[in-house]
Amino acid sequence: MPSYNVWTVGCQMNMSDSERLGAGMAGLGLDLCDKPEDADVVVLNTCVVRQTAEDTATGMLGKLKKVKDANPDRMIVVMGCMVGPSDTDLRRRFPQVDLWARPQDFNPILETVAFRHGIENGDLDGCLANLVPNDPKVATFVPITHGCDKFCTFCIIPYRRGRETSRLLPELVDEAKMLVQRGVKEITLLGQNVDSYGHDLDDRKDLADLMEAIQDVDGIERIRFLTSHPNDMSTRIIQSIADLPKVCETVNLPFQAGDDVVLANMRRGYTRDQYLEKIDEIRDILGDDITLTTDVIVGFPGEDEEQFENTIDIVERVRFDKVHSAAYSERPGTVASRRLPDTVTQSEKKRRHQRLDAVQCAIQAEKHAGLVGTSTDILLEGRKRGRMFGRNRNDKIVYVDDGAHVDCNVRTGETITVEVTEATPWSLVGQPTI
């Protein structure tokens, strides 16, 4: 049988899409190949949210061109956010690519692979109907919505992933049950704007209803959700985190900028005070120990020093557990690229980015140091950097200081209690308690 490789760059949604496409390839009978350059069919699942991600994909296409020149039978597919409504320009720039597919457009890929490789007995209908990962990680992602309706001025995603649509609740519950049978213990419900789940469904079920339904699935031990928008995170959703024992005490709530003028230019739809009120509401309902993470862009067009310092002010006030920060990167086709000149120099963006990271790093170091000596339960996810690791309910990565005796295959998927013995700003080390 021919072999396949799905190469991925970008967000958790892309990783999940790749897992699902891999399930389809396996359903056709293709063999997994570790290296893209050795596979008969290679799919690049791309991201263009920032220039660096786009450059990574185009660099990979350059490498694969040599492979294609030497082996014209190899099939190269590009999927994901690099592919817009028209692929004419992409076809001209990258003639080595056989097929272009928009995000989650799995069917044409699988149909073309089956046709080109003469796979007549493959379960094509089954593949397309049920793209649930065959060999998922113990903590895995489940997309519950596709697309986004927010149209923040800097973001390309609504143009590439389309308008927001929700998957049906019973289908998601069935998928959770299937994932349990395949060894999954923790699921993260994914959406570009996960809190608006269900707004387009006839029965108007929302994220709280979905989490309640998945709470009842035997074998699922933990539920998380990503990514939230402050305007759609309702009191009902926050309360469900408190009420549902399997929902972890972790909220990712991007604020993007701490200044009202910048927020208006981003069309985020809230002010800094409204954002801070939402944080207060979360902490009132869930307590001060709730883990809060966020996303921030520095150097947005027109952002001056004072406006940037307003972002730092929010970071210092809220004291997030993690900040995913990025320097603004103009994305052709967005409102910002058309109407807001990219005024902040690269060196200034870099300086602001470094300053933000330094502030946040100090906060994380302090918070994590305060955890040394405490006990926490971690779900073991595998081995990394020579050690078993897992995460606790607060989404802290904990490496296990276990000597040499822990067998990765035996322990992955188990929840163990550890005492935290060491801390860095990014992770913890813990010793199993007997």
Of 16, 104, 192, 252, the residue at the interface with ligand SF4 (CB under 6 A) is 192
155 vs 217, beta carbon nearer ligand SF4: 155
Using alpha carbons only, give the angle 73, 74, 79 rounded to the nearest 5 degrees. 135
By the rule CB under 6 A, 325 interacts with ligand SF4: no
Least distance (Å) between residue 78 CB and ligand SF4: 21
By the rule CB under 6 A, 150 interacts with ligand SF4: yes
Question: Which residues does residue 86 pair with via DSSP β-bridges, in sequence order?
Answer: none
What gap in Å lies between CA 173 and CA 237, rounded to an integer?
A: 18
Residues 8-67 that bind ligand SF4 (CB under 6 A): none
Of 152, 262, 297, 416, the residue at the interface with ligand SF4 (CB under 6 A) is 152
By the rule CB under 6 A, 193 interacts with ligand SF4: yes
227 vs 360, beta carbon nearer ligand SF4: 227
220 vs 257, beta carbon nearer ligand SF4: 257
Residue window 98-137: x/- pattern of binding to ligand SF4, with contact defined by CB under 6 A: ----------------------------------------
6 vs 297, beta carbon nearer ligand SF4: 297
By the rule CB under 6 A, 148 interacts with ligand SF4: yes
Least distance (Å) between residue 195 CB and ligand SF4: 10
Report which DSSP code applies to 157: H
By the rule CB under 6 A, 147 interacts with ligand SF4: no
What gap in Å lies between CA 277 and CA 270, rounded to an integer?
A: 11
Stretch that binds ligand SF4, among 28-36, 70-78, 151-159, 282-290 (CB under 6 A): 151-159
Of 158, 191, 230, 413, the residue at the interface with ligand SF4 (CB under 6 A) is 158
Q: How far is CA 16 from CA 126, 383, 387, in A?
A: 19, 20, 25
Of 151, 165, 242, 280, the residue at the interface with ligand SF4 (CB under 6 A) is 151
Query: In what order do the strands lie in the sheet containing 75-80?
Result: 31-32, 3-8, 41-46, 75-80, 99-101
What gap in Å lies between CA 54 and CA 254, rounded to an integer?
A: 22
Pairing between β-strand 322-327 and β-strand 75-80 as defined by DSSP bridges: unpaired
By the rule CB under 6 A, 199 interacts with ligand SF4: no
Q: Which residues contribute to the site for ligand SF4 (CB under 6 A)?
A: 148, 150-152, 155, 157-158, 192-193, 229
